[in-house]
Structure 1
Amino acid sequence: MTTNPMSFTPPPTAPTTPPAPAGPVAPARAKTPLRIFLTILELAALGVVGSAVFAALAGLFAAGLGLALVFGIGLVILVGLVYAMYGVAWFEVVRADGLYRLGLTRLAFRPQARPGFGGWIAALGRQAIDGRMWRALVNFVLACIAGTMVLRLFWMGIWWAMIAWAPLTGAESVAGPWGGSLTGAWAPVLGILGAAASAAGMIGLALLHRVLTRALVSPSRAAALTEQVRTTSAQREGAVRAADVERTRIERDLHDGVQPRLVSVGMTLGLAQQKIDSDPAAAKALIDEAHTSTKAAITELRQLARGIHASVLDDRGLDAALSALASRSHIPVVLDVRLEPGVTGARAACRDAEAAVYFAIAESLTNAAKHSRASECRVVVRRREGGQLWARVEDNGMGGAQVQPGGGLDGISNRVLAAGGTFRLDSPQGGPTSLEVTVPCAS
């Protein structure tokens, strides 16, 4: 069997990091001097590299505008600028969260609402006007400005400290920091006061940075509640649509498959009943036919029940359920499942996530067997950082798959959305088709 190569590199497996327990307030206060010192060090580092980052972003912006009409080269540069700003904003969120333990969610690039180039352009435009990204960028700019001031205050403090020790050399006057001169008698007092003022200025900038970071990077309570309501509403709508699509599928399978077969069994048994006295051999043949049709109906009902609930998923877990699913597939499936074993009860907390991923993979394999003309499928499942389940299904078929209302892919997206996950489809004409789902585990 000849298969087309499928270019795919599975991501590295990341260990699940349990959330740190919330500590009491007193230890947090005890760590405040260390936190201030770390803030001053980070601000000083940003003061050094900030100008280089600004120069790079400004250069990309100027080059993009200047070359916008030159064969579209400027547009490519502006696209790179959006990604560069996103990278800087992502770094700033991670830096602020690591410094102040704010419990921030990582900045994520806006997902594509629809597949294809148009969906990517729309996602890029939404990212370019993303408010959270711009707030993080503003916080980064203010941190760099504060870092430059911290560096100046540091060198000024060093200068004042040198002035405080200058009378030991026997000089009657000492040069001041602004070109003036100080008498030797006043130099120690003014030097100590100047060094203390410089240190106080650095501490004040660190405290101001903390306040600004909490105001800019941390979402407000109203914004957090609004986002939670929006997410809950989207999950509820996805659950309703998923249930409606599933009900329609069950009705279709019963009406088109099992019901006609059972009607045929009833008619065959009726004919056998009429012929049992006059033609026993024909009646026996009809009964054998009804028996065969009954076993086929039982098989169809078993497959239908498996599509509603996979008992092996509860009994043996996601890995075993996917192995059984791959063995029943009409096309060869390369299965790569790496799930780190968790503590007792961890799988029960992820049951909904495992079910959503399982049915997404099952529907993807069914679609590949029916429509893609693929000769091979590849299924990769990983447990990512934070306990999220990530799965990718890729086939080497002819591509062109689209989400149609009421179709199988629509059912996948609704089920994943109802579980609080994300869904991404990439299926260009000519293939290959890849589908990725990420579903968070319940805590």
Structure 2
Amino acid sequence: MTAAVPLPAAPTRLRAMRIGRHVGAIAQLAAVGVVGSVLFSILATFLSLGVGLLPVVGIGILFLLAFLCLLWATAWLEYERVDGLYGYGLPALPTRRSGRPGLGGWMRTLWQQFIDGPMWRGIASAAIATMLGLAVLPLVGTLASSVVLLFAPLLEHNLASWRMTVFRIPVAIEWAVPAGILGIVLSLALLAGIALLHAVLTRAILVPSREAQLTEQARTAGTQRESAVRAGEVERTRIERDLHDGVQPRLVSVGMTLGLAQQKIDTDPAAAKELIDEAHTSTKAAITELRQLARGIHASVLDDRGLDAALSALAARSHVPVSLDVRLDDRCSRTAEAAVYFAIAESLTNAAKHSRAAAARVIVRSRDDGTIWARVEDNGIGGARVLPGGGLDGIVNRITAAGGTSRLDSPAGGPTALEVSVPCAS
């Protein structure tokens, strides 16, 4: 006789999770109904004051800036709230940057943020959640009063002076129990409907469609491919420049010196020996330059011992004293580690060549979102800019090709700081 196999409890667990999610949505909507009303009132106030006071020596600009910041914060809160509630895996709401310096770049950044589609989708979702929350609040009150009506016959002497209602309809004491049951059923049904409607609307508004996701993936892949090609061109140009300006003249000099030594070896052996010694010294210098050039293309220690050891070796060779702080949980992909290493190496090279820095600091961290974050800061004169074909251009393209982001902050007078973030699995 075979024993009965118990059925898995997964469907029950999933059902309980859905019910808990709907209850959480109702609770959140009740809170959003109150908080959202206040937030949108403040937004309307800032907008009206900003537009009204704009002609008055530009005071309205401050209110418009506050309006834009609060607008973005409201959208960010809505994204975080919905993603925490439903687990859609929504991307973090980005802050837009024009990438241009000066007042014009700053104004362009503000405009790009104002017309940002994801931000306005977050605002639309928050507005809908506020309206649904305002509908939830009276339904919760009706549900509570319906529960009280169930016990009205037991508390008749205490409820004599009360005006018992359900959905704002007066209820006689003899109809209290049926009215309470009806009120509970209708309130729960309406609350469940609002929770379902909220889930459908937020998914439709905040979750990108399949076509939009494919378009974004294609755009990102195209950008990464272009950046990889551009990074390869910049690297090839750098290698050609280093070979042409450094190793090639030195090797030509070695050849000429050996030629002179060959001519003098019979007539003046002492002078020939000095020339051979000079050629030997130049050859060792050329080998050192070739080794450094090869290390700039790819550091073998990076594959053997990881990013921490590679950066330690890089800091030891740096002409600028480097304070190194690396805290990595585990190894990442070769592409990610190479991109971060290249960015730090090029930044330290720029600090030594151009910024007149006396010290530099390198910080590298593993983040919870599965990325490597690095910051390189020097105390130089600042004023660094991303120019086509330059070292910083190579950093930006290589980081973008690895699926990461970079940010340069280098005001005139210093300091210069470069931050990069690369997905660990890139």
| CA deviations over 1:257-316 (Å, ceiling 9, x no partner) | 111111111121112112111111111111111111110110110010010011121222
Give the structure 1 partner of residue 48 of structure 2. 62
Equivalent residues in 2 for 1:165-184, closer than 5 Å = 165-168=151-154, 169=156, 175-177=164-166, 181-184=170-173
Deviation at 1:216, TM superposition (A): 0.7
Cα distance in 1 for residues equivalent to 2:111 and 2:12: 45
Give the structure 2 partner of residue 281 of structure 1. 270
Counterpart residue identity of residue 69, structure 1: P
* 1:174 and 1:184 in contact (8 A); partners too: no
* 1:136 and 1:217 in contact (8 A); partners too: yes
Cα distance in 2 for residues equivalent to 1:99 and 1:305: 51
* 1:384 and 1:390 in contact (8 A); partners too: yes
Alignment match of 1:435 (pick from 415, 418, 421)? 418
Cα distance in 2 for residues equivalent to 1:67 and 1:355: 52
| CA deviations over 1:41-88 (Å, ceiling 9, x no partner) | 111111222222122222221222222233323212212222211111
Task: For residue 178 of structure 2, give the secondary structure of its aligned residue in structure 1.
Answer: helix
Equivalent residues in 2 for 1:328-407, closer than 5 Å = 328-339=317-328, 341-342=329-330, 347=331, 349-407=332-390
Deviates more, 1:110-119 or 1:261-270: 110-119
Identity of aligned residues (%): 62
TM-score computed with the length of structure 1 as normaliser: 0.88
Cα distance in 2 for residues equivalent to 1:74 and 1:266: 73
Alignment match of 2:207 (pick from 184, 209, 218)? 218
Give the structure 1 partner of residue 135 of structure 2. 149
Counterpart residue identity of residue 337, structure 2: E
Deviation at 1:181, TM superposition (A): 4.3
Over aligned residue pairs, what C-alpha RMSD do you find?
A: 2.1
Counterpart residue identity of residue 312, structure 2: S
TM-score computed with the length of structure 2 as normaliser: 0.91
Cα distance in 2 for residues equivalent to 1:84 and 1:174: 43
Please, which runs of 5 or more residues in structure 2 have no aligned partner? 1-9
Equivalent residues in 2 for 1:218-257, closer than 5 Å = 218-257=207-246
Deviation at 1:336, TM superposition (A): 2.1
| CA deviations over 1:3-30 (Å, ceiling 9, x no partner) | xxxxxxxxxxxxxxxxxxxxx8875344
- Shift in CA distance, 124/180, structure 1 to aligned 2, threshold 3 Å: closer
Task: For residue 390 of structure 1, give the secondary structure of its aligned residue in structure 2.
Answer: strand
| CA deviations over 1:77-113 (Å, ceiling 9, x no partner) | 2122222111111111111111111111111212342
Give the structure 1 partner of residue 95 of structure 2. 109
Deviates more, 1:349-358 or 1:225-234: 349-358
| CA deviations over 1:318-356 (Å, ceiling 9, x no partner) | 2222222122222222222222x33xxxx1x43211211
Please, which runs of 5 or more residues in structure 1 have no aligned partner? 1-23
- Shift in CA distance, 278/210, structure 1 to aligned 2, threshold 3 Å: same
Equivalent residues in 2 for 1:280-299, closer than 5 Å = 280-299=269-288
- Shift in CA distance, 413/25, structure 1 to aligned 2, threshold 3 Å: farther
- Shift in CA distance, 226/83, structure 1 to aligned 2, threshold 3 Å: same
Deviation at 1:188, TM superposition (A): 2.2
- Shift in CA distance, 178/192, structure 1 to aligned 2, threshold 3 Å: closer
- Shift in CA distance, 364/163, structure 1 to aligned 2, threshold 3 Å: same
Counterpart residue identity of residue 251, structure 1: E
Cα distance in 2 for residues equivalent to 1:379 and 1:102: 36
Cα distance in 2 for residues equivalent to 1:31 and 1:373: 60
Task: For residue 31 of structure 1, give the secondary structure of its aligned residue in structure 2.
Answer: helix
| CA deviations over 1:396-421 (Å, ceiling 9, x no partner) | 22221111111111111111110111
Deviation at 1:147, TM superposition (A): 1.1
* 2:325 and 2:364 in contact (8 A); partners too: yes
Task: For residue 434 of structure 1, give the secondary structure of its aligned residue in structure 2.
Answer: strand
- Shift in CA distance, 72/380, structure 1 to aligned 2, threshold 3 Å: farther
- Shift in CA distance, 429/307, structure 1 to aligned 2, threshold 3 Å: same
Counterpart residue identity of residue 265, structure 2: I
Cα distance in 1 for residues equivalent to 2:16 and 2:152: 37
Give the structure 2 partner of residue 18 of structure 1. none
Count of residues paired in the alignment: 413
Cα distance in 2 for residues equivalent to 1:87 and 1:330: 44
